Amino acid sequence: MAAKISSKPSTLTFNSSTLLIGEKLGTAKRIFEQQWEMYQKGSHRVADRIVSFHRPWVRPIKRGKSGKDVEFGAKAAMSHVDGFLFLDKIHHDNFSESQTTVVGEQIESYEKRFGKAPASFTGDKAYGSRENRELIEEEKKIRSSFVRLGKKQPSRDKMTRWFKRKQKERNRIEGHFG
């Protein structure tokens, strides 16, 4: 893809490789500036730190998982309907699933797309905050597949058929993230 600066025969023409080199030089400059800032301050943190030269938009995502404290890549919120996946939200910056705005936006997007509220909501444990549960179950009257809060009772069987089916569905969706 070439872009001419003017119609004169002796003018410079930029092609995609020239633009790519310019991008890489810009990324290298930002990395140097960030490293220099951290060196000057004697710290290991800087805002929007670039962690990948080849993918400078990727940010570390702090997770509470055992084995790895940080993951890299995008965080996504998706809707699964009749075997189709709809991408409702994708961010390379870290966002908290426990925020009601994330869940609210996801439900709104579903309602706009299909003209009705979803029959059920399945998500990671992080989506199961008290505020999200109130929004999903009480305000929107949507059935959720979160494990109940509170002390476990010996008689309570959390693994009903519906719950197991929804967890399997969630696991299949997780597989699409890669």
Single-letter code of the amino acid located at 101: T
Query: Are 171 and 103 within one domain?
Result: yes
- 93 with 134, same domain? yes
pLDDT at 174: 74
The angle formed by the CA atoms of residues 16, 1 and 90, to the nearest 5 degrees, is 70
Q: Taking the CA atoms of 42, 45, 49 and 52 in sequence, report the sign of the dihedral they define.
A: positive
| Residues 28/54, Cβ–Cβ less than 8 Å | no
Per the structure, how many domains does the chain have?
2
Q: Are residues 173 and 88 in the same domain?
A: yes
- Asked whether residue 61 is domain-assigned, the answer is no
Per-residue confidence of the chain (178 residues) as pLDDT tens digits? 444 444 455 555 667 788 889 899 999 999 999 999 999 999 998 988 898 899 898 888 777 667 778 877 777 788 888 888 888 888 777 766 667 688 888 889 899 999 998 888 888 778 888 888 888 888 788 888 787 777 776 655 556 777 778 877 877 777 766 6
> Is 86 contained in some domain?
yes
Domain that holds residue 98: 75-148+166-177
> pLDDT tens digit string along 77-124?
888 888 888 888 887 777 666 676 888 888 898 999 999 988 888 887
User: Does 19 lie in the same domain as 98?
Assistant: no
Asked if 46 and 118 sit in the same domain, the reply is no
Three-state SS for 130? helix
Residue 51 sits in the same domain as residue 79:
no
Q: Is residue 134 part of a domain?
A: yes
Q: Are residues 40 and 82 in the same domain?
A: no
